[in-house]
Structures are given as C-alpha cells and as structure tokens.
C-alpha cells in the first residue's frame, strides 16, 4: 500500500487490508467462474464481474508502477501486470 507504513500497519490500514482480502477473494471467485472452473451456473452473470476485475487490475498495475516504494515497483507491478493480462484473457474467452 505504497510503502508508507513500514512494519506494522496502524488500525485503519489493517481494516483497509482486510477489505482488500475480501475483494481479492471475490475477484478469485469471479475469475474461476468465468474460466468455467467453479459454479458454472453463475457463468452468464459473471460477464460484468470479469470486466470489473480487468479494470481493478488496470488500476492496480498503474498504482504499483507509480508507487514511491521501490519494492512494490519491482515486485508488485510485474505481478499486477500478469494478473491484468490473465484477466483480459479470461474476459475475452
């Protein structure tokens, strides 16, 4: 989260981290459903969800690229870019 808080997060940032965990779990379910690997009965309604995932990873890639944290730029940006490309592939299939 930008490298602003080295070490242990303050309480508000811990809540933000928990929200991110919930969001990433939801993203994983959307991608797995859209890829046909989970809960196929939700496949049709996962179409808008997968495009939300794509937009989320576009933003993530941009933010990880411009962060002041060198560690996040070196590790987070490539990971975010791979997630972006993967989500586009799933969305287009």
Express each pLDDT in 45-81 by its tens digit: 899 999 999 999 999 999 999 988 888 889 989 999 9
Contact 31, 90 (CB under 8 A): yes
* Domains in the chain: boundaries: 11-92
Asked whether the CA dihedral 1, 54, 49, 27 is positive or negative, the reply is negative
Taking only the tens place, the pLDDT of each residue in 21-32 is 999 999 999 999
Average pLDDT, the chain: 89
Q: Is residue 86 predicted with pLDDT exceeding 60?
A: yes
Mean pLDDT of 2-18: 80
Which helix (H) or strand (E) segment is 53 a member of? helix 47-66
Q: Report whether pLDDT(87) > 70.
A: yes
């Amino acid at each position: 989260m930008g490298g602003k808080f080295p070490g242990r997060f303050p309480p508000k940032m811990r809540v933000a981290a928990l929200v991110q965990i919930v969001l990433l779990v939801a993203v994983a379910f959307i991608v797995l459903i859209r890829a046909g690997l989970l809960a196929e009965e939700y496949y049709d309604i996962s179409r808008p969800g997968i495009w939300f995932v794509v937009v989320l990873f576009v933003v993530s890639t941009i933010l990880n690229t411009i962060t002041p944290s060198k560690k996040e730029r070196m590790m987070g940006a490539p990971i975010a870019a791979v997630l972006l490309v993967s989500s586009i592939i799933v969305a287009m299939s």
